[in-house]
Structure 1
C-alpha cells in the first residue's frame, strides 16, 4: 500500500484526515504533545522543528506522499508566542516541502483563509494576500517558502472547520453547544464572516488536492455565514435553548490577535475538481446523527 505521512495527527483536522485516508493508504501520523491511538495507524512522536528528527522520519518511513497539518493555529497564541509559532508554522513547513522535493513525492499543506485582510471577500486563489495578524503572516511565509522549495506543493487554504470532537481535539462548536445546554450566555459575532466546512469535508478536499493540485487552492464551503448565524443553526438543529445566544461585534471582545471581518473563500476551482461540501445544515445534521449513534 502507498504510505501517507500526516503531520499533526492529534489535531482536529489531522485526526479526521487519518480516519478518512486509512481506507486507501498505509498511514503514519505524527504528534508532539498529545499522545493518541488510532486503530490501523502507526503513530510517531516527532518534534517537527528538529530538522534531524524530521529527516529521519522521511528516511525511516519512506512516505509516498505527505499532508502537513501540524501547526500552532490559534491566532492569539501566535500573536503572543511569535518565535515558538514561527518554528512550526514557517520553518518546519519549508523543511517538509524541501524533503518532499528531494524525494519527488506529492505534498499538501494546510494554510488558512486568514492570509486575507477581510476587506474584499469572497477571495479567489489569485487575490493578493494581506494578513492582519501574525498567524496569517506566518502562513503566508510558509506558502511562499514551500512553493519556492517545491512548486508542486498543494497549498490548501482552509476555512473555519467544525465537527465531532476527537480524542485529543475539539472544534469551536463543542464549547458553543456546552454553553447553550447549560443555559449560560454565549456571545457570537454578527460582523465576522467565513465559509466553514466540517472536518470530514476538509479531509476529502485535502486528499483531492494531494492528487490533483500544484500551487494554491481554496477549500471553503459553499455558504458565507457569520458566527452568530452559525450559532443559530446549531440551536435549531441540535434543539438547544436559544435564550442565552446573544449577538456582539468584534470590537466588543478584547483579543491579542486582530481579526479580519470577512475572509469568505471562493472555492469554485476546487468545486470544478470534484470537491463537494454539503450545505451547512446537512453537515450539522450529520453531527447530530453521529452524536446519537
Structure 2
C-alpha cells in the first residue's frame, strides 16, 4: 500500500507512519504547524496544495488525522475550526476520490451530547460545541465526497508522542513539578492508546472495511479514574490530584459528560486489540523506557 498521512507530526499520525512502515507499506507524511524530520509541509486549508500533493504522491490510501482539536480554542474561532475540520478535509476527500484513493478521516466522541453514553455507531450525533459540530460536518463531507471512505471516531487519545501534549503528559508534568492537577469526576470517556488506533486504522484500510467505526479503548471511565491509573503506572503522587466537577473548571466549550464510545463493532470485526486503560498505560510506560 502507498499511503499518505496528512498530519503525521501529531500523535495518531506519527503512530500511523510507524505502523504502516512496520507492516511493509510505503508511507509519506505531512506536517502542519509542528515540523518534524522527513515530513512535507502542508496547510490543510490550501486546497490546491493538498490536491497537488495527492496527485504527486499517488497514494492508494490517505489517512487524515490532521485537524484543529483544541476544544476551547475552537469555540472562540469557529471559522478556523470549520475551515480545517470540515472544508479542509472535504477538499482532501474530493482529491482522494479524483485520484482513486481511499480516505480515512478521524473524528471524536464529541459529536455526541454525553447523555446516555457510551455511544455506538448507530446512535444519533448531537454535538454540544463548535469543535463537535465541525467534526460531525467533516464526517458528512468526507462520506459524501469519497466512495472509499472510512470515518473513525475515537476518544481521549494518549500514548507516546513527540509533542508531549496529551492528557497523560500533562498529568506527569504537573505532578513531577509539584503542581496540582484537577481532573473532572463527571466527564466519562474511552481513553484510547494511539498505537492501537493506528493499527486498527491500517487494518480497516487493508481490508477495505469502509464506513463508520468507533475505535477507542475498551472501557469507559471518568477523567479522575483515568488520572489515578496514570498516577499508579508512573509512580506519581496521587495526592496532587484534586477531583472536581466540570462546572468548576469553567471551560469555554460545553463537554459531553456521560460520553465515550461503544467499540463492540470494531472488536468483533478486527484482529487488532483495543486495550483498556491500565494495559495501554503500561505499554506507554514501556515505550518511554520506564521513565
TM (normalized to structure 2)? Answer: 0.94
1:70 alignment partner in structure 2: 66
- Conserved in 2, the CA contact under 8 Å of 1:115 and 1:137? yes
SS state at 1:188 partner: coil
Question: Alpha carbon RMSD of aligned pairs, Å?
Answer: 1.4
SS state at 1:92 partner: helix
Q: Distance in 1 between matches of 2:141 and 2:239?
A: 48
Q: Structure 1: state its 5+ residue gaps.
A: none
- Conserved in 2, the CA contact under 8 Å of 1:11 and 1:169? no
Q: Distance in 1 between matches of 2:237 and 2:288?
A: 18
1:135 alignment partner in structure 2: 131
Q: Distance in 2 between matches of 1:182 and 1:74?
A: 24
Q: C-alpha displacement at 1:213, in angstroms?
A: 2.2
Q: C-alpha displacement at 1:215, in angstroms?
A: 1.5
Aligned with residue 282 of structure 1, among 272, 279, 283: 279
1:187 alignment partner in structure 2: 182
The alignment status of 1:150 with 2:146, answered yes or no, reads yes
Which structure 2 residues correspond to residues 208-227 of structure 1 after superposition, within 5 A? 208-211=203-206, 212-227=208-223
Q: C-alpha displacement at 1:255, in angstroms?
A: 1.4
Q: C-alpha displacement at 1:25, in angstroms?
A: 1.6
- Conserved in 2, the CA contact under 8 Å of 1:151 and 1:215? no
- Cα pair distance change 1:279/1:243, threshold 3 Å: same
- Conserved in 2, the CA contact under 8 Å of 1:12 and 1:170? no
Q: C-alpha displacement at 1:47, in angstroms?
A: 1.5
SS state at 2:153 partner: strand
Q: Distance in 2 between matches of 1:158 and 1:278?
A: 13
Q: C-alpha displacement at 1:235, in angstroms?
A: 1.4
The alignment status of 1:3 with 2:2, answered yes or no, reads yes
1:266 alignment partner in structure 2: 262
2:161 alignment partner in structure 1: 165
Q: Distance in 2 between matches of 1:250 and 1:122?
A: 18
Equivalent residues, number: 287
